């Protein structure tokens, strides 16, 4: 049996419309051989958690540049947990101050990427930390 591909969702929670990074990353993940679902802008945490479960993804990558990550990122992680999807890995990116890293890790995020991070570094991280569920 051939192994399933890594299946990821790139999501834009909240009202932030800065989607340049999210779209580039979605394309980059696709080129790296992952199956990619991109939500588009303006998704509520509830919509993202529901879609992640329905789409049976291995990882959710959240992007937010408006400063609302402090509410939105933990909320997505919490909703996934509540719905029994603890095994879905959640990572985040955007304009995230260093001071917020600890709070986000405590909320269950596994990695945070900030501006200037090479795409290859993010892809490598995913390959090393996300395994496709059988």
- What is Dmax (Cα atoms) for the chain? 45
Closer Cβ to other proteins, 87 or 98, answer by number? 98
Q: What is the rounded distance in angstroms from the CA atom of residue 76 to the CA atom of residue 48?
A: 7
Binding map of other proteins across residues 1-40, x = CB under 8 A, - = no contact: -------------xxxxxxx-xxx-xxx---------xxx
**Residue 87: exposure state from Cβ atoms within 10 A (0-12, 13-18, ≥19):** exposed
Per CB under 8 A, 108 contacts other proteins: no
Number of residues that bind other proteins (CB under 8 A): 34
**Of the candidate residues 50, 51, 53, 68, the single one contacting other proteins (CB under 8 A):** 68
Q: How far is CA 8 from CA 2, 25, 43, 47, 75, in A?
A: 18, 11, 16, 15, 18
**Residue ranges that bind other proteins, judged by CB under 8 A:** 14-20, 22-24, 26-28, 38-42, 44, 66-72, 95, 97, 114-116, 118-120
């Amino acid at each position: 049996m051939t192994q399933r591909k890594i299946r990821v969702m790139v999501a834009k929670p909240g009202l932030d419309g800065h989607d340049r990074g999210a779209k580039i990353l979605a394309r980059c993940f696709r080129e790296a051989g992952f199956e990619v679902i991109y939500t588009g802008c303006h998704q509520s945490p509830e919509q993202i958690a529901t879609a992640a479960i329905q789409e049976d993804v291995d990882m959710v990558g959240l992007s937010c540049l408006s400063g609302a990550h402090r509410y939105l990122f933990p909320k997505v992680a919490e909703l996934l947990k509540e719905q029994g999807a603890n095994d879905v890995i959640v990572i985040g990116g955007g304009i995230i101050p260093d001071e917020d890293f600890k709070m986000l890790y405590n909320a269950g995020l596994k990695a945070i990427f900030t501006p200037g991070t090479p795409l290859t570094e993010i892809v490598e991280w995913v390959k090393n930390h996300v395994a496709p569920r059988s």
